[in-house]
Amino acid sequence: MALPINYSLRNALVRWRSTLATVLGIALVVFVFVLLQSLAAGIERSSANTGDPRNLLVVRKGSTAESASLITRQTLTEIRYFEEIARNEKGEPIISADVLALVNLPRRERGGEANVLLRGVTPRGIELRPQVGLVAGRWFVPGKRELVVSAKLAKRFDHFDLGDTVHTGSGQFTVVGWLAAGGSAFDSECWLDADECRSTFDRDMYSSFLVRPVDEAAGERLIQRIETDRRFKLKVEKEVEYYRKQTMTAAPIKWLGGFLAVMMSVGAVFAAMNTMYAAVGARTREIGTLRVLGFRRRAVVTALLVEGAFLAFFGGMIGCALAFYWNGYTTATMGFETFSEIVFEFRVTPKFVAEGLGFAVAVGLIGTLLPAIRAARLPVIDALKSI
C-alpha cells in the first residue's frame, strides 16, 4: 500500500531551498543534453532535408563535395540532350549546370570574415529546387550583376540587405532578393546567374549538374550511361542521397551531447544522492512514525523514490525550458566540406524533451535509491528515537 502522492510531491517542493542546487544541476545536464541534440538535429535537417528525390546530381568522379568538383562545358553539350533527361513544356531539357564559388565576406558588427558559398544557377536550377523560394525582393536578372542571398545569412553578413552592394574579389553585385529554403542546405547559399558567376570568378568549368530524369527507370539508365562512359569521369547520385551523406558532420555533436550528458549525470546522481541522504536523514523520525502507522518498508522506499523523481523532474523541466528558449534560434558553423558558413536552427523536438525528462527522472531515481533503502532498513524503534 502506497503513501499518497501528495506526500512525495510536497516534500519535494517544501525543501526547495536546500534542493535548489541539485535541481539546477539536473537542469544543467538536461539543458546540455537537449540543446546538443537539438543542434545535431538542426544540422542534420539542413542536409537531410535537402533536395528533391527525383533529381540526380552529377559531379566529377573522386570529388568529395560539389564545390570541389569541376566539369567541362564540353560535357554539358554532350549530356544535355540525352533522352533519359526530362523536358519542360518548351521542350528544353531539365538540367542545370551550376557554378560554385567561395567568397570571403565581412560579418555584421565587425564579427570578422567568413566564407560564403555562391551558387551560379540557371532558371532550370531554380525550377529543380522547389524548396528554395523568395521571402523578399525578386530573383536576379542575368547580365545585371544581381545577387539573391539567403535570408538567414543576411542576418549574419554585412551588406546583405536589399539594395546593398556586395564586393567580391573581382566584381560587385547588388542584392535584389532574400531566399529561404526551409532549413535545408540552400539556406546557407547565395544565388546568382551561372554565366555571371563563371565570368566573375574566371571559371572555365562548371561545378555540377542537377538533372531531372524522365522517370525512375530512366534515372537508373542515366546513371549507368554517364558513369560507364570513360570520357566523362563523372559520378551520378540522387540529390537527396548526396546531401544525406553530408550529414556526417552532425555525428560528433550527437556523440559529444551523449558523452557530456552521461558524464554530467554521474555528477548529478551523486548530487541527488547527497540531497536525498540529507532529506531522508532529517526525516528519520517521520519515517519511523509512518512505519508505526503500518506503512511497510516498500511503501516508504517508493514514496522517497517518487520524491526524488519529482525533484529531478522539476530540474528536467527547467533544463528543457532553458533549451526551448533556443528553439528556432539560427546559428552557424563552418561546414567541414566547403569551409563556408552553414546556417541551421536549433530544433527542440518533443522527442528530445521526453528524452531529457526521462534522463532527469532516471538520475533522480538512481540517486534516491540508496538513501531510501537505508532509511527504510532502520528498525522502527531506532527511527523513532532519532532526534
Partner 1 sequence: MAAPDNIVTIRNLSKIYLQGEINVTALDNISLDIAAGEFLALLGPSGSGISTVLHIIAGIDRPTSGECHVQGIDVARLNESQLADWRNQNVGFVFQTFNLIPVLTAFENVELPLLLTRLTRRARRRQVETALELVGLADRAKHLPKQLSGGQEQRVAIARALVTDPALVVADEPTGNLDSHSAQEVLGVLRALSQDAGKTVIMVTHDPKAAAFGSRQIHLEKGELTK
Handedness of CA 101, 105, 108, 112 (dihedral sign): positive
Strands (E), the chain: 56-60, 95-106, 113-121, 133-137, 146-150, 165-168, 171-180, 189-193, 208-211, 234-238, 330-334, 341-345
CB of 307 to partner 1, least distance (A): 10
To the nearest 10°, report the CA torsion of 4, 5, 8, 9: -140
CB of 345 to partner 1, least distance (A): 43
**Residue 20 near residue 13 (C-beta atoms within 8 A):** no
Which CB sits closer to partner 1, 40 or 300? 300
Residue 228 CA to its chain's centroid (Å):
37
Which CB sits closer to partner 1, 187 or 307? 307
CB of 366 to partner 1, least distance (A): 24
Which CB sits closer to partner 1, 26 or 376? 376
Which CB sits closer to partner 1, 114 or 375? 375
CB of 304 to partner 1, least distance (A): 13
Locate 349 and state its grid cell.
Answer: 523536438
Which CB sits closer to partner 1, 219 or 288? 288
Which CB sits closer to partner 1, 154 or 303? 303
CB of 309 to partner 1, least distance (A): 17
Which CB sits closer to partner 1, 4 or 53? 4
Which CB sits closer to partner 1, 143 or 387? 387
Which CB sits closer to partner 1, 101 or 301? 301
Residues 6+ apart with CB under 8 A from 351: none
Hey, what amino acid is at 291?
R
Residue where the block lists cell 529543380: 128
Locate 304 and state its grid cell.
Answer: 522517497
CB of 291 to partner 1, least distance (A): 7
Hey, what amino acid is at 334?
M
Which CB sits closer to partner 1, 61 or 296? 296
Q: Which residues bind partner 1 (CB under 8 A)?
A: 1-4, 6-7, 10-11, 14, 285-286, 289-297, 380-381, 384
Hey, what amino acid is at 227?
E
Count of CB atoms situated within 10 Å of the CB of 66: 23
CB of 1 to partner 1, least distance (A): 5
CB of 317 to partner 1, least distance (A): 21
Q: What are the CB-based long-range contacts (under 8 Å, 24+) for 253-257?
A: 253/36, 253/39, 253/40, 253/43, 254/36, 254/37, 254/40, 256/36, 257/32, 257/33, 257/35, 257/36, 257/37, 257/39, 257/40
User: How far is it, in rounded angstroms, from Cα 31 to Cα 16?
Assistant: 20
Residue where the block lists cell 516534500: 11
CB of 30 to partner 1, least distance (A): 26
To the nearest 10°, report the CA torsion of 30, 32, 33, 35: 110
CB of 3 to partner 1, least distance (A): 7
Q: Which of 182, 312, 247, 250 is nearest to 36 (CA)?
A: 250
Q: Which of 219, 194, 162, 186 is nearest to 96 (CA)?
A: 194
